[in-house]
Structures are given as C-alpha cells and as structure tokens.
Amino acid sequence: MGTLHKFEAGGYSFLQGGFPYSAGVVALPGYEIVRARFHRPPTISDGLAAIEAWLRAAGRPLTALCAAELRSPTPFSFEGFRDFNTGYVAVLERWGLYRNALNPVARSNVCPQFDAPSEPVFHAFCFTVPATGTTDSTGASAKPAATMQPTDFVVAGSGEWPEDQPFPQGIVARGDLSGQGLASKVEYVLRTMQERTEGLGGQWQRLTAAQVYTVHDFHPLLGSHFADAGLTANGLSWHVCRPPIIELEFEMDVRSVGAERVLDLA
C-alpha cells in the first residue's frame, strides 16, 4: 500500500499512487469533500475551465481539486493511455497540484458502452471546503468544524491489474470471462478498494457510494461478493462502461462524501 501524504495546500491527504493519479484522498481535519457532477459532461478543456471558475467562485484554490471522474470514447492501448495521461498531468502541474513527481488527485476514467462521448469528457469532480457551522453556496454540510473528523474520502478507480505487475501479463484472470474468471477479477478489485480505504484511514462502513464499471453481467456475484462486503445496503451503482485500457474488464471506485450536487453549464 502506498504512503499517505498530507497535502495542506488542498486541505486533504492522498494515498500515493502512480504518475496519472493517486490511489485516493481523505479530507484533513476541519475540511470536507464536495462532489459535483456535470449534468452534461463537458470536454476535458471546457471541464477544466468550468472547474477553475467554480473553485474561484467558491473561494477555493485550484489545489482544492482532489478527485476527477472522466469518460472516454473507447478503451486506450497501454501506450495511448500513457500519452493521454501526460497531457492531463501537465494541467495539474500548472495548477500547483502535481509536485515532486507526486500526483495527489484521485481519478476514474472509464468508457461508456452506450452514449459514449466523441472525445474525453469530465463526468464529475471533487474538491475540499472548510467545514463550517452553516451550509454555504458549495453545498457543504452544516457540521461545526470542531466536530469534523477526516471521514470524507474518495478511493480512485481500479481495474483488475495490479499496477506493480507487467502489463498485460499481470491482469487477474486475463481473458477469462467465465463465471470464475469474473469472480476472480471482482475479488481483486474489491480487495483493492478495501485496502485503499484502510490506507486512507477511512471507514468502510461509512461509504456513501460504490460504483461498478463493467459491460459484463455480475448479477450472480451480488450476494456472495457485494452484499457480503456491505455494498448493497446503500445501493450499488452500475455504470455500463469499460475500464480505460484494452483487456481490462472490471473496475470500481468508492467514496464517503456527504455533500453532492449537479452542475449544469448550459
């Protein structure tokens, strides 16, 4: 498990991941996380401009951005995914987020089976706000700052490839879409979600959302895997999407975020 780094400029700590994104983020004491989903997902460039304007209007620095959810037209090759991430991280570096070869921003990037965008777009983003005693224009919850604990957290998306293993040889149950193969993939991804939550110091029982990204029917595993992990009580969200790299078949992300809202740029 990666090292947990404090990122005071953003009001959160992040679990060290790879070059494109961190493994997850957790709000520092005195802060909470707000998630904003775009009603009509804008292009990456338009989305970044909208996020910048939103953060400035909310009185927050650009470094308050802590998580991003993207949608891409089709899965990338391994090399294509690396090239896409180079441009994405360059923006984070200009915003003062990517520092000392460390990326604090958690991320998911998946490819819709239906209604896919013609180019990569922003689906949602998360940012930190000070925890105050009143609800402000950002939609932050009305909790006194003194009572806030660092329980708001977001775990980055992960597919069934251990990133310390060679690609594609290291993919769990590579090419196996049988019931057992899919179960092996799910088991690995669920374990990764739990380990990252533990690494953030988050509480699994406080999850407010769990999102599944796959085009395959995982219904036979709902009881044996997801219900047993406590992920069906609050509703499990299935996005009919593929992971962002060719040959990956199953991805998830989870979060514990009390304040969420929908943005319409139109």
DSSP letter, residue 219? G
DSSP state of 197: H
Same fold, 4-155+256-263 and 158-254: yes
Q: Which CATH number fits domain 4-155+256-263: 3.40.1360.10, 3.40.50.970, 3.30.1330.170, 3.40.50.300?
A: 3.30.1330.170
For 140-165, b where at least 16 C-beta lie within 10 A, e where not — what string?
bbebeeeebebbbbbbbbbbbbeeee
Give pLDDT, residue 133: 53
The span from the CA of 141 to the CA of 134, in Å, is 7
- Count CA atoms within 13 Å of residue 178 on its CB side: 5
Return the pLDDT at 265: 81
DSSP-derived 3-state class of residue 91: helix
Tokens of 26: 């957790």
CB-based contacts of 39: which residues, under 8 Å, 6+ apart? 262, 263, 264, 265, 266
Domain spans of the chain, in order of start:
4-155+256-263, 158-254
* DSSP designation for 201: T
Gap between the Cα atoms of 240 and 109, Å rounded: 13
Q: Which CATH architecture group holds 158-254? A: 2-Layer Sandwich (3.30)
Has this prediction a pTM greater than 0.75?
yes
Type of residue at 236:
L
pLDDT of residue 231: 96
**Whole-angstrom Cα distance, residue 153 to residue 199?**
11
In the chain (266 residues long), the average pLDDT of successive 10-residue segments reads: 93 94 96 97 96 94 98 96 93 95 96 97 98 54 48 96 94 98 98 98 96 97 96 94 98 97 87
